[in-house]
Chain A
Amino acid sequence: MTQKGIFHRIKKDWVIYLMLFPAILYFVIFNVIPIIGMKLAFQDYRVIGDNIWVGLKHFKVLFSSPAFFDVLQNTIIISTMKIVFFFPIPIVLSLMINELRNGPFRKYVQSVIYLPHFLSWVVIAGVWISLLSPDAGGINVIRNFFQLPTLDYMTSKDHIRWVLVFSEMWRSAGWDSIIYLAAIMKISPSLYEAARIDGASTFQQMRFITFPQLLSTVVVVFILNLGFFLNAGFDQVFNMINDSTISKIDILDTYVYRIGILNGQYAYATAASLFKGVIGVILILSTHFISKRLTGKGVW
């Protein structure tokens, strides 16, 4: 499109572009400006006077830290578990909600599954600590009923990562299903109508119409999620970690918080964030191009 064409289009649809402006401003302020601030990763910050250029000093410290590769490993394991076990849940949930025909019951289900999204991790951690408590916690009461031994999930090195996955699932699965539900709403009813005339069962309609139509949304969400791969959930871990599980769920973000933020070493924290960002971009781009080649679908 020519420059003249672009201006013509903006002039014609100026109201729509005006509506877009706050979003653009938001991204400039909160996403573009911080990118420029990333230069801090290569500097020593000075409150008064110019920052001192130190090159890769902070990256060297980061990569030479004995804890860094442990926390990186924890982050990758937790993120992978969340992607493998959590990512499909909102899709399944949206397909199930879509099949609910009873209006009030559907609204009730939606309200109940969206609700945890609005709770802070401080509250959720409290709820889960009580729920999983070895002393009269709901889960252990059920285990005991079936003659199974009591388990202290919150201090168990074998279980704590699963606690993170399931608590994340409980909090976000409902909310994350909204995007898929919206995509399902877009599917033309005539497709279902034609399928029903051809004698397709409900499951077949879901399998051969809903899911294929949903696939492009799934691919886009999956690729975008990979951009946040190294964000394994600071608030969640921060509220659920304890001395017994620190070796299993201490992640990059909690490490950076301790070393970078609490010690006021912002340049160091920025270096770690930049590292995370670069990994995120690499993952997004590589997945996008692989997906394009294999399925023809990608982010753009």
Chain B
Amino acid sequence: MKKMLLLVLVFVMIFVTACSNDSDDVSEATVDKDGVVNLKVVFKDEGPSNPVAVKYFSNLEKALKEDKDLNVKFELVEMPQGNYAEKLNLLLMSGEIPDLIYFQGGDQQIANQDLLEDLTPYIEKSEYIKDILLPHNEERLKNYPYLLWVKPLDSKTPVIRKDWFEKAASSDALMADPSIENYHAFFKEVVQNADGGKPAYAVTVAGDIAELDTIFKMAFGLNQTWLEQDGKYINSKVSEQEKAKLTFYSQLYEEGLLDPQYLTKQWDTKEEAFYDGDAAVITGTNGKIIDIYNGKMTQVNGADAEVVVLPPAKGEYQGFIATDITKESRGLAISSQSKSKDTAFAVLDYLASPEGQKLDRLGFEGEHFNVTDSGIELTEKYYNEWYARFWEPEAFELEKPLVTPLLSEPAQNSRELANEFYNPDNSFIIPEEFVSKWDAMENIYKDFSADVITGKRSVSEFDDYVKQWNEAGGNEITEYANETIK
């Protein structure tokens, strides 16, 4: 029997050894005999099973050949359903590293293993990309040169439907001076004006207070993650300003102005509450998302219900929370193991050129746009379906003028407001040894803030919370912050 078991064990070990793969499986030489460079690309939702993605990359291949005499063949990687960052990490950890990789988190571990190319020299030598970088891109690339994502700021902006906005007498005062008091009065009036129970509350957010912070945080003096106080930095979450902010949020909750069920709201139920009229105000990423809100709102509630973008509250400061400039939170990277790094970057650079921009931002001719004598007309399909896969710099020039705008008026307003209030943050990348402590501190904050807002705990317990937060690692990380922030 023992011999039998031994035999089975040997068989299993042989099988396991045969299955294991410790070889350095990196990109093979990628130029075929016709001189075509094969580029393996992994991109969220842009796999070979997506016909739009296949057509897009096929058009890109043709355009690269035509405009730049670049013979490139894209091989799209199909990603399984689920959390993209998680699945991508598993793909990379298995040793399969595509030439061009779109990250949506999880890139730092890969960069720490020197598997991502430092893009600084490429950008310096680039023909187009260096000229389209936005201020936040430049800062992020200085801190973390592995990810590139030339997109407008992703600040969220608050919106309300126009008919309700105009019905409120306090709306003029709010627009003239968006102080915390005026916002409060506006919220109150919007709910008082409710018709048939709609809106039920002034504002809703998806699960936590991050979206509420985009409106009010700066007004309470929380303009940076680390606030300077008596020559030292303290984390904004344990500051007196935070205490004042939480007190205000709890007041909104108590008065029924903040959705009583905001903690269980997801992004989809939040939007549903907005379209159904339960919530008067929600926040959405400036630009395209506000465009979607505007389109759906007018579709559901008529043309009078187009959305109005509200300004951030004004107090000690004004703005839509400070922008994290430690690194891009998403973006494209080139594998350091790629045999075609220059070609991969040439593709990225081409997409910043006028021809590349037209292809990327307008979609397919005849489908998403039509060229007429008067100019370029965007179709309904463009507004419903198309989005730029790569870069969206502010300046966008075409050989013919756009007859229809890229963004609706509210969406364009939201983008302008986001740009106007750009304010770089002084946060830093949390070192690996502090990650679990940071997680514990975040949980303590979430727990306390939710309890204070919903009235389960009194804000007078703030000092106890600060003590707990500091003991969970706050003291060490604050010390590190004071050494790091210059």
Chain A partners chain B: yes
Q: How many A-B residue pairs have CB under 8 A?
A: 117
Give residues 199-258 of B contacting A (CB, 8 Å): 207-209
Residues of B within 8 A of A255 (CB): 439
Instruction: Give the CA-CA distance A247 to B209 in the complex, in Å.
Output: 17
Contact B443 A246 (CB under 8 A): yes
- Minimum CB–CB distance from B92 to chain A (whole Å) comes to 6
Contact B440 A65 (CB under 8 A): yes
Residues of A within 8 A of B115 (CB): 47-48
Give residues 77-92 of B contacting A (CB, 8 Å): 85-86, 89, 92
Interface 0/1 of A1-38, CB less than 8 Å to B: 10100100000000000000000000011001100100
A73: Cβ under 8 A from any B Cβ: no
A198: Cβ under 8 A from any B Cβ: no
Interface 0/1 of B432-470, CB less than 8 Å to A: 110111011001001101110010100000000000000
B109: Cβ under 8 A from any A Cβ: yes
Residues of B within 8 A of A180 (CB): none
Closest B-chain residue to A261, C-beta based? B86
Residues of A within 8 A of B95 (CB): 47-48
Partner of B93 from A28, A47, A49, A65 at Cβ < 8 Å:
A47
- Minimum CB–CB distance from A217 to chain B (whole Å) comes to 28
Residues of B within 8 A of A50 (CB): 22
Closest B-chain residue to A135, C-beta based? B261
Instruction: Give the CA-CA distance A67 to B456 in the complex, in Å.
Output: 22
Interface 0/1 of A257-272, CB less than 8 Å to B: 0110111111000000
B260: Cβ under 8 A from any A Cβ: yes
Instruction: Give the CA-CA distance A250 to B436 in the complex, in Å.
Output: 14
Closest A-chain residue to B278, C-beta based? A135
Partner of A259 from B89, B337, B435 at Cβ < 8 Å:
B435
Contact B440 A48 (CB under 8 A): no
Instruction: Give the CA-CA distance A135 to B259 in the complex, in Å.
Output: 11
Instruction: Give the CA-CA distance A70 to B115 in the complex, in Å.
Output: 36
- Minimum CB–CB distance from A184 to chain B (whole Å) comes to 35
Partner of A66 from B89, B92, B437, B456 at Cβ < 8 Å:
B437
Give residues 57-78 of A contacting B (CB, 8 Å): 61, 65-68, 70
Contact A264 B89 (CB under 8 A): yes
Give residues 372-427 of B contacting A (CB, 8 Å): none
Contact A259 B439 (CB under 8 A): yes
- Size of interface on A: residues with Cβ below 8 Å to B: 43
Contact A47 B110 (CB under 8 A): yes
Contact A247 B443 (CB under 8 A): yes
Contact B85 A262 (CB under 8 A): yes
- Known contacts A48-B24, A129-B264, A259-B436; A244 and B93 CB within 8 A of each other: no
The SS class assigned to the B binding surface is: helix
B106: Cβ under 8 A from any A Cβ: yes
B176: Cβ under 8 A from any A Cβ: no
Instruction: Give the CA-CA distance A155 to B85 in the complex, in Å.
Output: 29
Contact B113 A36 (CB under 8 A): no
Could you say which of B11-19, B32-40, B67-75, B308-316 contacts chain A?
Answer: B11-19
Closest B-chain residue to A62, C-beta based? B436
Partner of B447 from A243, A262, A266 at Cβ < 8 Å:
A243
A94: Cβ under 8 A from any B Cβ: no
Contact B443 A250 (CB under 8 A): yes
A154: Cβ under 8 A from any B Cβ: yes
Residues of B within 8 A of A204 (CB): none
- Minimum CB–CB distance from A64 to chain B (whole Å) comes to 8
Residues of A within 8 A of B263 (CB): 154-155, 242-244
Contact B260 A134 (CB under 8 A): yes
Instruction: Give the CA-CA distance A48 to B25 in the complex, in Å.
Output: 8
Instruction: Give the CA-CA distance A178 to B188 in the complex, in Å.
Output: 55
Contact B89 A244 (CB under 8 A): no
Partner of B440 from A66, A243, A264 at Cβ < 8 Å:
A66
Closest A-chain residue to B94, C-beta based? A47
Residues of B within 8 A of A152 (CB): 260-261
Known: A49-B24, A259-B439. 12 other contacts (CB 8 A): A47-B95, A48-B24, A48-B115, A65-B436, A66-B436, A68-B436, A154-B263, A243-B450, A246-B443, A246-B447, A247-B447, A263-B435
Give the 8 A-B residue pairs with the shortest CB-CB distance, closest first: A264-B109, A67-B440, A243-B450, A65-B436, A244-B450, A243-B446, A242-B263, A66-B440
A-B contact pairs, 23 of them (CB 8 A): A1-B1, A6-B1, A28-B12, A46-B113, A47-B115, A48-B24, A48-B115, A65-B437, A65-B440, A66-B436, A67-B436, A67-B472, A134-B260, A135-B261, A242-B450, A243-B447, A244-B454, A246-B446, A247-B443, A247-B447, A261-B86, A263-B109, A264-B109
